[in-house]
Structure 1
Amino acid sequence: MDVQWLLVCHGLLTALVLVSFFCGQWPIFQGTFIQRIHFFITFGAYDNLRRFIYFACGSRGGNVMLSVEYYCCDRPNPVLQLIYLLIIGGTYYFIAKSSFSYIPGYYLSGMHRYTSFLAVGVAILLFLLTSFSDPGTVSSANFSQYISAYPYDNIIFSEKECSTCKIPKPARSKHCSICNRCVARFDHHCGWMNNCIGERNIGYFMAFILWHFLVCMYGVVALALVLAGRLKELKVIYILTAYYGIENSFRSLAPHVVQWLLSAYNTQILIMMFLAIISLLLAGFFTYHAKLCLTNTTTNESFKWQDYLQWQRKVKEAKASAEALKASLGELNQERKPQESKWIAFFRRSRLEELEVVKNNIYDRGFLNNIGEVLYPLSIRRSFGINKSKSG
C-alpha cells in the first residue's frame, strides 16, 4: 500500500503544480493557495534564488544570473523548444517501453504501434510549422498592404508609428520586444514555439493545440484498453471471485483490481494521469483561443478591450454621479416633494447599475468569415497581392 499511496500523492502533486502554473492567474483562483503557488513558481522561487546567488557569490554571480535571465526571457532561444521535444519524446519512450509488449492485446490490434508513432510525428510536424513559419512580419515593404487589410477602428488601434521599427503600425499589429519585429494580427509571443503567434501561423497554432489534446486523449484511452486487456487475459476477475471468494460486484472487486493495477502497472497509470491532466489543460487553452478566433479577436486585443471597457465604465460612472449630484442640488431649490415610498426606493435601480458599455469590434465579420480569416489569412489572398501590386 505504500507504493500505491506514493503514486496517488505523486499524481495529486503533479496535478497541483500543473494547474497552479497554467491556471493560477485565472480570476476563479484569485486569493487562493493556487494563486500563491503560481506566484511562487513564476516569481517567488526565482527571486529567492537570485537573492541567494547575490549573497553567496556576490555581484559577479548576480551578473551571470542576469545574463542567463536575459538570454532565456528577453531574447529568442530554443530552451523551451528542447524541453518540449524532451517531454514528448520521453513520454513516447516510456509508453513504448512499458506497453508495446502488450500490443497486440485483447482490445488493441498491432496497428496501434504505428498509429501512435504517426500521432507523435504529426504533433512534432505541427510544432515545427508553428515554430519556424513567418507569423506575419511587418516591414517597410509590406506595411501599406497590412494597413489596407486591417483598417483602424480608432478605439484600441489608431494611426501611429512604431517607435522601434520607424514604420507606420498597421491596425492589430504589435512590436514584439523579444523578437524585435512588428507582427500583423499579433496574438502573443509563445516561448514554447520560440516564435510570435500572428496572422500567418495562428492556424498552425490552433491545429497544434487541438492535435495535442487528441493525442493525449488517445494515449489515455489506449493505455486504459491495454490494462483492461491484461485484466481479461490474466483472468484477474475470475481469480478474485473463484479463489479468494470476493463477491462478483463492482463495489467489492474495484478496490482489489485497483490495488493489483497499481502494484503491477504503476508506470502505465502514472503516464495516464499525466496525459489526462495535460489534456484538460489543453482543452481549456484551446477553448479560450477558439472563442477568440470565433469573434476575430486576439489575445493582445482582449487585454486592450478590457482596459478600454474599464476606462469607459469609469467615465460613464463619473458622468452619472455628476448628473445625480446636480439633480440632488436642484431639488434643494424646489419645494419639498412628498416622501417617496421606501419600497419604491428599494426596488428602483441606481443610475450606475443602468450603465452599459458596448464592445464595438469592427473586425468581427461573423464566425464563418472569422474562421476563414484564421485558416486563410488576408495577407496571402489574391486581393492582398493585387493591392500590393497597385501600391507598388
Structure 2
Amino acid sequence: MAVHWLLICHGLITLIVVVSFLCGQWPIFQGTPISSIHRFITFGAYQYFLKLVGAVFGDKGINSILSVEYYCCDRSNPILQIIYLAIIGSTYYIIVKTSFQYIPGYYLSGVHRYTSLLAVAIGILLFLLTSFSNPGTVTVDNVSHYLSVYPYDNIIYTKKECSTCKLPKPARSKHCSICNRCVARFDHHCGWMNNCIGERNTRYFLAFLLWHFLICMYATIAIGLVLAGRLKELKIVYILTVYYGVENSFRSLAPHIIQWLLGSYNSQILLMVFMAIVSLLLAGFFAYHAKLCLTNTTTNETFKWQDYVSWQKKLSEARASSVALKASIDRMDSERKPPDNKCKSFFRRSPLENTEAVAKNNVYDKGFFHNLYEVIFPVPTRASHSHTKSKSG
C-alpha cells in the first residue's frame, strides 16, 4: 500500500512541477504557490547555484557557468532539439516495452502497433520541417519584396533601418539576436526548434503543436483502453464481486480496481497521466497561437500592442488630468459668479470621464479566411507571386 501512495505522490509532484514551470507566470497563478515555485525553478534555484559555485570555486567558477549559460540561452544551439528527440524516443520506447505486449487486446486491434509508429514519425517530420526550414530571412535580394508585402501601419511599425543588418526594416519583421538575422513576420524564437518562427514556417509550427497534442491524446486513450481491456480479460470485476463479496457498484468497486491497477500497471498509469498533462499544455499553446494566426497577429506584436495601448492610456489620463486641473482653476476664478442649477451640475460630466478609449487598429487583420490563407500559403510560396515576379524580371 505504501508503494501505491508513493506513486500517487510522485504523480502529483510531477504535475505541480510541470504546471509551475510552464504556466506559473500566467496571471491566474499570481500570488499562489504555483507562481512561487515557478520563480524558484526559473530564477531562484539558479541564483542559489551561482552563489554555491562562487563560494566553492570563486570568480573563475562563476565565469565558467555564465559562459555555459550564454551558449545555452543566448546563442543558437541544438541542446533542446536533442532533449526533444530523447523525450519522444524514450517515451515511445517505454510505451512499446510496457503496453505493446497487450496489443491486440480486448479493445485495441494489432494495427495500433503500426499507427503509433507512423504518428511518432510524422511528429518528428514536422519537428524537422519547423527546425530546419527558412522562417523568412530578410536579405538584400528580398527586402524590397517584404517592404511592399507588409506596409507600415505608423502605429507600432514605422520606417526604420535595422542597426545590425544595415537594411531597411520591413513592418512586422524583427532582428533575432540569437540567430543574428532579420525575420519577416517574426513571431518568436523557439529554443525547442533552434529556429525562429516567422512568415514561412508558422504553418509547420502550428501543425507540430496540433499533431503532438493529438499524439498525446491518442497515447492517453490507447493506454486507457489497454488497462480497460486487461480488466475485462482477467475478469477483475467478476472476481471482486463473486469471490470477495464487493458490492457491484462503481463506488464500491472503484477503490479496489484503482489499487489493483496501481499495483499491477503502475508504469502505464504514470505514462497515461503524463501524456494527459502534456496534451492539455499543448492544447493551450496551440489555441493561443491559432488565435494569433486567425487575427493576423504575432507573439512579438502582442507585446508591441500592449506597450502602445499602455502608453496611449497614460497619455489620455494625462490629458484628462490637465483638463480637470484647468476646469478646477476656472471654477476658482468664477467663485463669485452665481452658482449653476443643481440639475445641470448633476448631469455635467467630469473632465476625467472624457478619457479617450484606446483602439487597437490592426491593419494586417483582413478577416478570418484571408488570415488563415496567409499562414498556410505565405506570400513567397504563392503561384501568383511567382508569376508576378517572373513577369517583372
Q: TM-score range by the shorter chain?
A: over 0.9
How far is the alpha carbon of 1:108 from its aligned partner? 0.3
Q: Aligned pair count?
A: 390
Amino acid at match of 1:219: A
Say if 2:374 is the partner of 1:370: no
Aligned to 1:278: 278
Q: Are the structure 2 counterparts of residues 35 and 339 from structure 1 closer, same or farther at C-alpha, using a change threshold of 3 Å?
A: farther
The question of whether the paired residues in 2 share the 8 Å contact of 1:149 and 1:384 is answered with no
Amino acid at match of 1:314: K
Structure 1 unmatched runs, 5+: none
The question of whether the paired residues in 1 share the 8 Å contact of 2:324 and 2:351 is answered with no
Aligned to 2:202: 202
Q: Are the structure 2 counterparts of residues 242 and 386 from structure 1 closer, same or farther at C-alpha, using a change threshold of 3 Å?
A: same
Percent same amino acid at aligned positions?
67
Structure 2 unmatched runs, 5+: none
How far is the alpha carbon of 1:269 from its aligned partner? 0.3
Aligned to 2:193: 193
Aligned to 2:106: 106
Q: Deviations along 1:95-143, whole A, 9 cap, x unmatched?
A: 1100000000000000000011111111100000000000000011111
How far is the alpha carbon of 1:385 from its aligned partner? 3.6
Aligned to 2:126: 126
Moved beyond 2 Å, runs of 4+: 331-341, 347-355, 379-392
Q: What's the TM-score, normalizing by structure 1?
A: 0.95
Say if 2:228 is the partner of 1:228: yes
Q: Are the structure 2 counterparts of residues 71 and 372 from structure 1 closer, same or farther at C-alpha, using a change threshold of 3 Å?
A: same
Moved more, 230-239 or 377-386: 377-386
The question of whether the paired residues in 1 share the 8 Å contact of 2:324 and 2:350 is answered with no
Determine helix, strand or coil for the equivalent of 2:106: coil
Distance 2:172 2:140 in 1: 17
Distance 1:256 1:329 in 2: 79
Amino acid at match of 2:367: G
Distance 2:18 2:72 in 1: 21
In structure 2, which of residues 329, 336, 339 is the aligned counterpart of residue 337 of structure 1?
339
Q: Are the structure 2 counterparts of residues 280 and 336 from structure 1 closer, same or farther at C-alpha, using a change threshold of 3 Å?
A: farther
How far is the alpha carbon of 1:331 from its aligned partner? 2.3
Distance 1:204 1:319 in 2: 46
Determine helix, strand or coil for the equivalent of 2:119: helix
Aligned to 2:301: 301
Distance 1:217 1:344 in 2: 60
Q: Deviations along 1:327-367, whole A, 9 cap, x unmatched?
A: 222223332535858x968x978844864110000000001
Determine helix, strand or coil for the equivalent of 2:31: coil
Q: Over aligned residues, Cα RMSD in angstroms?
A: 1.9
The question of whether the paired residues in 1 share the 8 Å contact of 2:135 and 2:201 is answered with yes
The higher relative CO (CA closer than 8 Å, separation ≥ 6) is in 1
Aligned to 1:72: 72
Q: Deviations along 1:257-306, whole A, 9 cap, x unmatched?
A: 00000000000000001001101111111111111001000000000000
Distance 1:309 1:19 in 2: 30
Q: What's the TM-score, normalizing by structure 2?
A: 0.95
Determine helix, strand or coil for the equivalent of 1:138: coil
Determine helix, strand or coil for the equivalent of 1:136: coil
Q: Are the structure 2 counterparts of residues 166 and 108 from structure 1 closer, same or farther at C-alpha, using a change threshold of 3 Å?
A: same
Aligned to 1:7: 7
Amino acid at match of 1:65: I
Distance 1:251 1:111 in 2: 35
Q: Deviations along 1:59-94, whole A, 9 cap, x unmatched?
A: 222222122111111111110001001111111011
Distance 1:187 1:30 in 2: 26
Distance 1:110 1:23 in 2: 38
